[in-house]
Amino acid sequence: MGSDSALERTVEKIIHNTEEQILSNLKEALKSSQDALANSHVSLEQEYDRIISEGKKEAEKLEKQIIGNADLDSRNKQLVLIEESIEKVFDKAIKKIQDADRNSDYSKLISSMLEESIRTIGTPDIIIQTNSKDKSVVQSLLSKFSGATLSNDVIDCLGGIKVQSKDGTMKFDNTIDARLERLKPLIRKDIASKFGR
């Protein structure tokens, strides 16, 4: 009986020690897991912040890109509209010139063109070409420009004159068409500035 009791106590002691060891091991494992979890929580938060920060940067970059593309698209459409408007202005101006009366004001214009042409080529001995509409206007001015001759050939233009020296060495295109082409960039710039370009 006594030896059984001693054996039971021994077994209980072993069981107790084993339980304590197991509990101790479990506590250590729990502590280790909690520490690992706490450490990983910090790194996960850092990773989360990094992903959010990069996402914001990417979103800002995309936003700028979208706004930039929209601005560029809008600017291109604006330029197309301005160009179309400028062309309409030129078309209207050309139509007005074509339909203009060859009155005294027009005669003064042709006279100033003749003076300018003679100055430009440096001789009054010139041959003048013009279109059929302006021929009579030029003819009526010839008496003011000794040395000037009106060619029988007519040219295709809105108005104005083409002049060449009688020796053929100098030529000057002083038609309205040529003047318009020379002034077009300035006129275009002026019109465009009125549209805020």
Q: What is the pTM of this model?
A: 0.61
For residue 90, how many C-alpha atoms fall within 13 Å in the half-sphere facing its CB? 21
pLDDT score at 159: 93
Please state the separation of Cα 14 from the chain's center in Å. Answer: 89
Nearest to 80 by CA among 165, 179, 195, 187: 195
Give the pLDDT of residue 185: 87
User: What pLDDT shows up at residue 105?
Assistant: 92
Per-residue burial over 42-70, b = 16 or more CB atoms within 10 Å of its CB, e = otherwise: eeeeeeeeeeeeeeeeeeeeeeeeeeeee
CA 17 from centroid of its chain's CA atoms: 85
Instruction: Specify the pLDDT at position 197.
Output: 52
The pLDDT tens digits along the chain (197 residues) read: 467 788 888 888 988 999 999 999 999 999 998 888 888 888 888 999 999 999 999 999 999 999 999 999 998 998 888 888 888 888 898 898 888 889 999 999 999 999 999 999 999 999 999 999 999 999 999 999 999 999 999 999 999 999 999 999 999 999 999 998 888 888 778 877 776 65
